[in-house]
Structure 1
Amino acid sequence: MENVLIAGAGPTGLALALWLTKFGIQVRIVDKSAGPGETSRAMVVQARTLELYRQLGLAGPVVAAAHLNPALNLWTRGQHRARVDLADAGAGLTPYPFIAVYPQDQHERLLIEHLAAMGVNVERNTELMAFGESKDGVAVRLKLPDGSEQAVTVAYLAGCDGARSTVRHQLGTGFEGGTYQQVFYVADVEADGLAPADELHVALDSGDFALLLPYGKEGRKRLIGTVRDERAEKADTLTFDDVRQDAIGRLGLQVHRVHWFSTYRVHHRVAEAFRRGRIFLLGDAAHIHSPAGGQGMNTGILDANNLAWKLADVIHARAPARLLDSYALERQAFARRLVATTDRVFTLATSEGHIADFIKTHILPTFVSLASSLDEARGFLFRTVSQTMLHYRDSPLSEGRAGEVHGGDRLPWVRGAAGDNFGPLDSGAWQVHVYGTATEALTAWCERHRLPLHVLAWTPAHHEAGFARDALYLLRPDGYVALADPQGAVEALERYFRSQGCVWAQPVA
């Protein structure tokens, strides 16, 4: 019996397959499409995604291929009102202190290539038709490329099959939320006339919204905006020539070529349950929201990472099945907060009326202009959109506090002369970090139980990052702190493992 069947080969499903394969889990990934997408709406790869991609050897290739945008420009009624320089907003916070614009279609091809290099190929034109769960596994019926059907049994089923998820529908899980009234378009264009040409531009007008993201070469840009008035009623038949936005026209943007154009509606929904027994929902199958902040694809990839190491620990008998409950608890709570946040931002950006216009054209630009001059404000903006401030402090897997670092926090990043403290995380293994000096008892215990221990010489930078000297930090495979103990005590580790019922630390025979 295969370990995990993944339905859906978008970024979420591909990332899940990559991490599971890295952790030694046998996977099968199917998709009903004939090939990877040729167009994409998702454009931004956030810093937290890149941090986790280091485990897979993907961070370097993504950064090398991406367009790194140093600033965001805000325009209202054709006037430049604010510029937020993001080039150093994340400095000292992450190895990737920038916004990486990397279209989803290129992103998917990169993931497919790396997965194939690991010996796993996507099974195309293969559709999940039905499934049923038993105590020992999930019986799945697949429709193969030749039209025949195949019955297989797997230990777990992961629904990464998008907003119209077959897995979610057959589970009967609610998908509460709504749909924005506006119709939006997305276009891949070659354009110029707007400076600086290599930066992000957001234009707000009376009810209008436009976002321009440069990427690649030859003036290639991704343009996203609203479809106004009666044209929205015939959105399915529109072409780019039919779009006449005040927000674009007043910018002086000259579009020379349109490579592709599409219209769509934006939804904001979160699944009622992310897990039912041996079946899981991830990515757009579990949550969809506005494109504000470039969060959607990144959130799905983080879903995949969160679930992958937990499935691996359970399948390898290092943890009880109840560990899988924490996937839904951690990721669903974040998805609900994210949907609520992006909904407020998106509603403001696209709303119409005198009050909304006044806020967008007067109050918002003044606020953004002021905030752009404050390092703390720019840092907060970067931490928010990059998902580096995401934490799981309320998770049943999180315990303790040492210094300013709590159980459930992302491990603070510190760069040293010989590398950074994220280097050991590349293994994707449970491990202990001590900044300063580890006790002999802790060193002996970790050696005896084959739990990797990394002791880093104390520096002022560790204090600035919030660490406590000589404290013990037990890290999960995803780089979040599971346990923080200021005394660096072996007893704290033993109590933690006992309470979780896990054997992540294996005594040497």
Structure 2
Amino acid sequence: MHRSDVLIIGAGPTGLVLALWLSKLGVRVRIVDKASAPGTTSRALAVQARTLELYRQLGLADAVVQNGHRVAAANFWVKGEPVAHLPLSQVGEGLTPYSFLEIFPQDEHERLLIERLEAFGISVERNTELAGFEQTADGITATLHLPDGQQEICQACYLAGCDGARSVVRKTLDTGFPGGTYQQIFYVADVQGSGPTFNGELHVDLDEADFLAVFPLAGSGRARLIGTVRDERAENAETLRFEDVSRRAIEHMNVKIEQLNWFSTYRVHHRVADHFRNGRAFLLGDAAHVHSPAGGQGMNTGIGDAINLAWKLAAVLSGAAEGGLLDTYETERIAFARKLVATTDRVFTFVTADGPIADLLRTRLAPFLIPKMTSFETSRQFLFRTVSQITLNYRGMPLSTGVAGHVHGGDRLPWAHDGEGDNFESLKCLTWQVHVYGDTSDEMIAWCQEHHLPLHVFDWRPAFEVAGLGRNGFYLLRPDTYVAIAETCSDPKVIERYFRDHGIRSFFGAS
């Protein structure tokens, strides 16, 4: 009987990232997908700064940036003319090494992840579908439908449902998926074309309640159109053709379409599963939460789920932590998912609201306010922090404690950079570690050496103060680079007590 540590159902970005992280941490994974090949008509485009920061841990970030497209600006159109221009090339400058909006289509993204996963000797098993599973205190027994029509019974310690909005894992667990469905039909078209909207920037039409945006892709004259329709055409989504929706882009934004590479329609839901964990089975990505594409958050949130769960599973499977650590996956990720779904729902509802007042807000007020708001650094940074997910935190949750400087336990470690380098270089090691900015005690140095806990002491520099880091205390960092402890003292007994209380026995990870 085939046995693995973690059986992953679904090979989209969420499942692939989970498999990649676990493989890097020495966990035996098996990943299956019912599709015969990776997707070619994918919808997700944006790779947010927080995802790139975490990808830096596996040497993935450079490949994404090199093969993707950096968006220089966003433009808002009314009545066939651009009325507001928002520079994006350095919108998050000083906050992250990736202070820009990166476009890297999901199909290309998946191919990169598959290539990296194969370097670990792991291949996606295609045309393989989960028929069902049972779990006991000792593990999971799953039934798979194989490509040849046969069935296979296999075993795993844990099961990860990364199998999308129609998740078989979620349905087998009988977990509720409350929410609703947007009335609009979404369409996506990958086109070759020309005109003012093919200048490598993002363009959004504010004229009508139906959303329309032109996203730039790498390569000359390539773009992706994303839009909605809600009139009688939406009642026949299956028969909707590009010719039925393209005229608006042609007329409103002067788009000249030379070639249609592919066209797809879909409905969007806004839902969050009642639970992200049931015993040894977990839900991640679209299997756990779905929402409107406003802000380009969906794929990035699923990837965040995968990284959060990966290091916890690896710790428990290796005996470095007790099983209770896995309880924190749902606690941390479900809170963010609920907030995200509520936020994207409000944004999308505003953008697509119908009626004269909504039209006035979109076509008159928004073009006036957008340049005004973004002329202030604080407004630009707030916008970037929110969309890029660098503001996502686990404050007040079981694994988070303390405050030092402006940094709380549960925060992402702030990035600090000057001519002497940055403080993220050591984060490439997927392990617990301690950062000190300034001086620390001999006791802290000796304790970390004795317990093989990496300690990085940075000479105090002005850049650290600007980033909000505290001087002469310490930050205990989790393997996913979130702050576990923010402390103003340099007493190692604080760390010792933390690990004891959370059932964490050792700190080894992947270098």
1:92 and 2:94 are equivalent in the alignment? yes
Provide the residue aligned with 2:37 in structure 1.
35
Secondary structure of the residue aligned to 2:269 is strand
Q: Alpha-carbon deviation of 1:379?
A: 1.1
Greater shift in the superposed pair: 261-270 or 292-301: 261-270
Q: Alpha-carbon deviation of 1:318?
A: 1.1
Greater shift in the superposed pair: 34-43 or 225-234: 225-234
Distance 1:504 1:417 in 2: 35
Provide the residue aligned with 1:178 in structure 2.
180
Distance 1:404 1:441 in 2: 25
Greater shift in the superposed pair: 363-372 or 291-300: 363-372
Provide the residue aligned with 2:58 in structure 1.
56
1:333 and 2:335 are equivalent in the alignment? yes
Secondary structure of the residue aligned to 2:212 is strand
Q: Alpha-carbon deviation of 1:418?
A: 4.2
Distance 2:43 2:383 in 1: 22
Does structure 1 conserve the Cα–Cα contact (< 8 Å) formed by 2:198 and 2:222? Answer: no
Provide the residue aligned with 2:300 in structure 1.
298
1:79-478 pair list within 5 angstroms: 79-195=81-197, 197-244=199-246, 246=248, 248-478=250-480
Secondary structure of the residue aligned to 1:132 is strand
Distance 1:248 1:55 in 2: 43
Kindly report structure 1 stretches of 4+ aligned residues shifted beyond 3 Å: 244-248
| Matched letter for residue 115 of structure 1 | L
List gaps (5 residues or longer) in structure 1. none
TM-score, structure 1 normalization: 0.97
Does structure 2 conserve the Cα–Cα contact (< 8 Å) formed by 1:208 and 1:246? Answer: no
Distance 1:196 1:375 in 2: 28
Distance 1:196 1:162 in 2: 32
Does structure 2 conserve the Cα–Cα contact (< 8 Å) formed by 1:74 and 1:201? Answer: yes
Q: Residues 252-309 of structure 1, C-alpha deviation per residue, up to 9 Å, x if partnerless?
A: 1111111111111111100010000100000000000000010000000010000000
Secondary structure of the residue aligned to 1:190 is strand
Does structure 2 conserve the Cα–Cα contact (< 8 Å) formed by 1:159 and 1:167? Answer: yes
Does structure 2 conserve the Cα–Cα contact (< 8 Å) formed by 1:91 and 1:97? Answer: yes
Q: Alpha-carbon deviation of 1:39?
A: 1.2
| Matched letter for residue 33 of structure 2 | D
Q: Residues 323-375 of structure 1, C-alpha deviation per residue, up to 9 Å, x if partnerless?
A: 11110000000000000000011111112111211111122222212112111
Does structure 1 conserve the Cα–Cα contact (< 8 Å) formed by 2:157 and 2:280? Answer: yes
Q: Identity over the aligned pairs, expressed in percent? A: 58
Alpha-carbon distance change, 502 to 361 in structure 1, aligned in 2, over 3 angstroms: same
Does structure 2 conserve the Cα–Cα contact (< 8 Å) formed by 1:209 and 1:349? Answer: yes
Distance 2:188 2:211 in 1: 12
Does structure 2 conserve the Cα–Cα contact (< 8 Å) formed by 1:83 and 1:372? Answer: no
Greater shift in the superposed pair: 364-373 or 102-111: 364-373
Does structure 2 conserve the Cα–Cα contact (< 8 Å) formed by 1:176 and 1:271? Answer: yes
Q: Alpha-carbon deviation of 1:248?
A: 4.9
| Matched letter for residue 113 of structure 2 | L
List gaps (5 residues or longer) in structure 2. none
Does structure 1 conserve the Cα–Cα contact (< 8 Å) formed by 2:197 and 2:254? Answer: no
Greater shift in the superposed pair: 189-198 or 377-386: 189-198
CA RMSD of aligned residues (A): 1.2
Does structure 1 conserve the Cα–Cα contact (< 8 Å) formed by 2:437 and 2:459? Answer: yes
Greater shift in the superposed pair: 212-221 or 286-295: 212-221
Alpha-carbon distance change, 37 to 183 in structure 1, aligned in 2, over 3 angstroms: same
Distance 2:271 2:31 in 1: 25
Q: Residues 449-494 of structure 1, C-alpha deviation per residue, up to 9 Å, x if partnerless?
A: 1000001111011011111111110000000000011012112112
| Matched letter for residue 4 of structure 1 | V
Q: Residues 141-191 of structure 1, C-alpha deviation per residue, up to 9 Å, x if partnerless?
A: 011111111111110000000111000011110001101111121100012
Alpha-carbon distance change, 311 to 178 in structure 1, aligned in 2, over 3 angstroms: same
Aligned residues: 506
Distance 2:303 2:359 in 1: 36
Distance 1:492 1:77 in 2: 61
TM-score, structure 2 normalization: 0.97
Q: Alpha-carbon deviation of 1:77?
A: 2.7
Q: Alpha-carbon deviation of 1:495?
A: 1.8
Secondary structure of the residue aligned to 2:399 is coil
Secondary structure of the residue aligned to 1:250 is helix
